[in-house]
Structures are given as C-alpha cells and as structure tokens.
Amino acid sequence: MRRNVTNFCMTAVTEAPQEYRVNSMNALVNTPVSTAAAFTGDPVPGMLSNVATLQRDSIPANANQANIQPVYEIYANVQARDLGSVSKNIYSIVAELQKQLSPGNSIEVIGQIQSMNDAFDNLSIGLLFAAVFVYMLMVVNYQNFGDPFVVILALPATFCGIFTMLFVTGTTLSVPSLMGAIMAIGVASANSILLVTFAREQQLAGTPAFDAAIAAGRTRIRPVLMTAAAMIVGMIPMAIGGAGEEQNAALARAVIGGLLFATPTTLCVVPYLFAMLRKGNDSKPAHGVFAEEVG
C-alpha cells in the first residue's frame, strides 16, 4: 500500500485590519490570527501575540551599499569656515577613529573635500608641467640654458608675493587663487623675457654683460611698469570683492600680490643675475647663436 507522508506544519492566516485601527502596540498585537494544522485543517483562532513577539527598535531610515557592503553616510555643510581647515580637522578625527574600527571597516572622506584635493593636485601638476614646458621652449629659442634660467629665477619672488597678499587679505588658497597665480606667473615671465632678450642682444653686439644688463633695465623699465600697472589697476575693483564675489576676489588678489613682488624683481634682480651668469661670454665672438654657446 502506498502512503503519502506530509510533514506537520502550522499555517498562520491573518486578515489585515484597516490602517487607522492599528494605531498602537496593543492594537497591533491584538490582530486576529487563525492557525490551521496541516493534517486536520481545523482553524484555531488566536491573536498575533500568540505567535509573535513584538518589541520596539531603531533601524536606519536609509540603507546604502557600495560594492555589496553596507555603508553609513554622514553629510555635513561648512559655514563661516573654509573647506581646507575643516578638512584638516576631519582628517585628524578620522585618523583617531581608524584605530578603533574592527577589521574590514574603513572611513572614507568624499564629496567636496575630495573634489578640492583632486583640483589642487591637477593644478599643481599642470603648473609644474607649464613651467618645464616654458623653460624648454625658451631653451629652444635662446639656444642655451643660461638665459632661460635667469627668467625662471624671477618666479620665486612671484610666489612670495602671491602668498603674502593672500595672507594679508585673509584669503584662503583655492582654485581661483591658483588660477590667479598662473596669470601672475605668465605676466612676470613675459616681463623677464622682454628684459633678458634685450640684454642678450646687446651682449651679442659686443657690449659687456654688466653694461648690457644696465641698458636693458633702463630701456625696458617703461614697458615693464606699464604692463604690471595696467594689470594691477584693472584687478583692483575685482580684488575688493563684495557679497558673492569671493571667488573673483581671490583670483585678483593673487595676481596683484604676484606682480607687486615680481616687477621689482624683474627690474633689479633679473639684470643682476644676467650680468653674473653671462659675464663669462664677454670676450667671446658672436659668430652665431650656436658659436656663442660652444665657444
């Protein structure tokens, strides 16, 4: 004889009450529940409290995941402080909390802080690449390494002026201020190239390096001052900055500070550096550009 074997089980059937009636914990546990045995099928009336235990608990409102791993996200806004100083405080707190985390857990700072760091890294790499590219371009133009080196030596003063102006005005280092730094470096390099080119032409014509540097500084002082003054005066209204113009103000202040330091350096330090580095070529004949360097 063949028999069908059925495992014993209990089936709970509930009729969902109207939502307005389930307004308390007691109303929820008193929800009618009917259970039936698999063999007999006879319903056994009861309540939800007979088959379940209810208790209050707290769970996250939003459950987020990243790569199938649970993630707890904390959002925060910055007010009356710059993002750079806030990020330093956050990283110091994160460094302390990392030691208390269990294996497999980590804390990652993202959002605007990550965007800011990426922007700074990209601008720094771009600025370094631009300096190297401009130097190599001047090497090709002058056909030597000495004259471009004189031009590059004027740039540290530009950086000093930029950071000094940002510090005096209480302006933070940001993407707009770095863009202003690039503008100031470009104008300062152009003025230095203007002076070094004139001095080099005078030396190739037979003038000693010292006299050529003096003549270059005397002759090029007007165009250098006019270029720097026009840029500085044009940036003053932007540098004052009003409500909502903080980004433009940072750019203009960086340009003004850089040119205030770069202009005296271009007119005083660059001729001196040219005279010192090029005085060894005073007695060499200028049969050509390459002959000057090889001889």
Conformation bin of residue 141: beta by default, left when phi > 0, alpha when psi is -120 to 50: alpha
User: Contact 253/106 with Cβ under 8 angstroms?
Assistant: no
pLDDT in tens, 258-270: 999 999 988 888 8
pLDDT in tens, 111-158: 888 888 888 888 888 878 888 888 888 888 878 887 888 888 888 888
pLDDT of residue 284: 60
Conformation bin of residue 58: beta by default, left when phi > 0, alpha when psi is -120 to 50: beta
Q: What is the CA radius of gyration of the chain?
A: 38
> Which of 2-16, 90-104, 188-202 has the least mean pLDDT?
2-16
Overall average pLDDT of the 81-90 stretch: 84
pLDDT of residue 4: 42
Helix (H, G, I), strand (E, B) or coil at 44: strand
Paired sense of beta strands 32-37 and 10-14, if any: antiparallel
Domains and their CATH numbers in the chain = 12-51 (no CATH), 62-109 (no CATH), 116-294 (1.20.1640.10)
DSSP for 46-64 reads EEHHHH---------SS-E
Overall average pLDDT of the 183-193 stretch: 88
Which one, of 272, 258, 271, lies nearest residue 157 by Cα?
258
pLDDT of residue 43: 55
Helix axes 270-278, 175-204, angle to 10 degrees: 50
pLDDT of residue 113: 85
Overall average pLDDT of the 252-277 stretch: 89
Q: Which two tokens stand for residue 225?
A: 């001052």
Which one, of 52, 54, 78, 74, lies nearest residue 64 by Cα?
74
pLDDT of residue 173: 82
Conformation bin of residue 68: beta by default, left when phi > 0, alpha when psi is -120 to 50: left
pLDDT of residue 282: 62
Percent of the chain with pLDDT over 90: 9
Q: How confident is the model at residue 40 (pLDDT cuts 50, 70, 90)?
A: low
Overall average pLDDT of the 21-44 stretch: 67
Q: Does the pLDDT of residue 291 top 80, yes or no? A: no
* C-alpha–C-alpha distance, residues 129 and 137, integer Å: 12
Q: Does the pLDDT of residue 24 top 90, yes or no? A: no
Q: Which two tokens stand for residue 80?
A: 């009356």
Paired sense of beta strands 10-14 and 69-71, if any: unpaired
pLDDT of residue 99: 86
User: Which of 15-24, 33-42, 45-54, 133-142 holds the top average pLDDT?
Assistant: 133-142
pLDDT of residue 125: 86
Q: How confident is the model at residue 15 (pLDDT cuts 50, 70, 90)?
A: low
Determine the residue type at 74. Answer: I
For 281, other C-beta atoms within 10 Å of its C-beta total: 19
Helix (H, G, I), strand (E, B) or coil at 43: strand
pLDDT of residue 37: 54
* C-alpha–C-alpha distance, residues 229 and 213, integer Å: 22
* C-alpha–C-alpha distance, residues 200 and 281, integer Å: 11
pLDDT of residue 256: 93
User: Contact 197/223 with Cβ under 8 angstroms?
Assistant: no
User: Contact 234/252 with Cβ under 8 angstroms?
Assistant: no
